Structure 1
């Protein structure tokens, strides 16, 4: 059966030789809205900025100087790799019209069939939509970089990221955003609390456990070499997140405006509360604390940005700071797990928190958008719990399998001598900073 979308592409491709009735058929099919398309293209650029250079600088400033360049190279290489995978096969498996509730088909391999097509219920061309989704496929595996910095072998990073993108990110995207079984069960994830932050955060924790601690952890202080770069990176992430969440409305409308407002106020509340907690607990409000708090707020608001009101966003931001701060201490201090840059405690916990609590703050009585017909707070809360649990469990299991399989061919860690020298020199033969 030829869909409306496929029919449009077919008719346009043969329009020159077609009779008049074919031109009428094309005219009757939906046209892409130029304003909405322009916003999605802009949002795509903003989300790419989140990875390059935002995340690279945010993470890079947090490591020691001898490993700064390695973080930039890893973020860049993962972004390039994820882009190619997405175009070749990832988009098709995640978003193709055909397929099933678990995985899509091969009909859109190499973005085949996307030109001059519009997905049902959308107003932008499918090329623009696929581009926007590609930027999400880029940043998600790049987030995991923060778990293995300063000790992972570069070859292993690349192989792991490729398999993880195909075996974790793509299927979960299908389940939640591509019309899969979690979407059918009413799971809501406006912009990636489950698809992006839960998958990356849980996987980061698993990788950190399997990879082991850095030499000297936790007894040796491993201070950020450049808090200034971290704050600059956080600023780029903050602005880029307007595209991340605002673009997820898939139109230039009030939902996009609401998502951006909620994103900003959620990050603001979280950053302020994180500073307050630091001031109370350690006596100083730090630049790194401000940046980390803002990112925790951004991750937490992401799944709920378009379905809650500003009041709910402020509360989520406050909860993000309190709970994520506590998890940072739990993971590193109590459990002694070297999740180096707190990917699980900030992104994973934040994404999970926002994904569950959106079921409460979506209530119209609390300023939210309300629930779908036949759904109430309790049933939505159950759907969110199920979605988070299934995705977290799947991400953990598949990450463990991928890590073992890749490490059978490529060792996960560099040698102790290479780790002490720093990955800039030992892995890439260059120095980020010439201090001589």
Structure 2
């Protein structure tokens, strides 16, 4: 495997009071970035740290291999291997005490820095959710979702559609920043709705004025979804447009350590955000951390090593879910991602997709040809790119960048049934 481009060891990136000694962020992904997966990604990220950061106590408070922390690490402002953010949770569901939503924000006992992404459209509800998280000691960083392109969210004015309404965007961000007090708030957004309705520069200025600590930009429009190529030049323009004290987090098409180094070098962004690229490949964080610290690349894992990761992931998911059969159902999509590119026949894949216990998973994994090296087909892009999709928006949404009274009256509908969406 080729070495990454030469890169100086990065300084700590400041996101408010937080210090990211590795400038990488795990993006929130619905149904993916639960506590077990975050732990896997974070542990791999920590394994890629240079010795001087490892010796600073990063590994001093480590849980056992079954994921049960021996004792909770001291929380602090330092994030040695970057930030690892929860799945998106809906502020209204949190405020109303939805059991599943509260399960989603339950922190991993190993987490030094607890990052939660909130979604919502009502400033008062968003502020209340932020206050609850802060008062209960459940969060050290809050990220606000203004980038979701899913039609069930945008057709009601939420997610990537919302920054078009500048007054609502300003009210939301300001309300959460005030409610969060000393806890840093970041916003995640897209370039805009489509090429004719670009919002990110105006929205970023509004966010800066509201007091955010950082701005994450997925360098695609809502219309693009995940298709085509991310426009990294927009990340560079954002870095030039906002004060240095505000961290800029670049997102889009980071699938390797080399990609991460190239994004930082070409855009000037402070950190890279990784989403689809780590699906079935949590060791990508080790590769990115090593590359950003100027360390040489490592070979990809063999199928046997991947199988060990799968089983560890599954054990932790059983512990997290408290239900082995449910956990095995949850693991199915992950197993498919883990096996991408390996020579595993259709029958074996089908059988793995039907496992209902840890024992059965172990038996079927051990029946594979585990000596296979990591395949070239397993590298590069991950996730379904698809094609462009016509934006789904409320009727008349683009008529004005300010909310009408009728639109304001309908906004509450954007939060119904969206938790984790």
TM-score (norm 1): 0.25
Q: Which has the higher strand share?
A: 2
TM-score (norm 2): 0.26
Q: Which has the higher helix share?
A: 1
Larger gyration radius, structure 1 or structure 2: 1
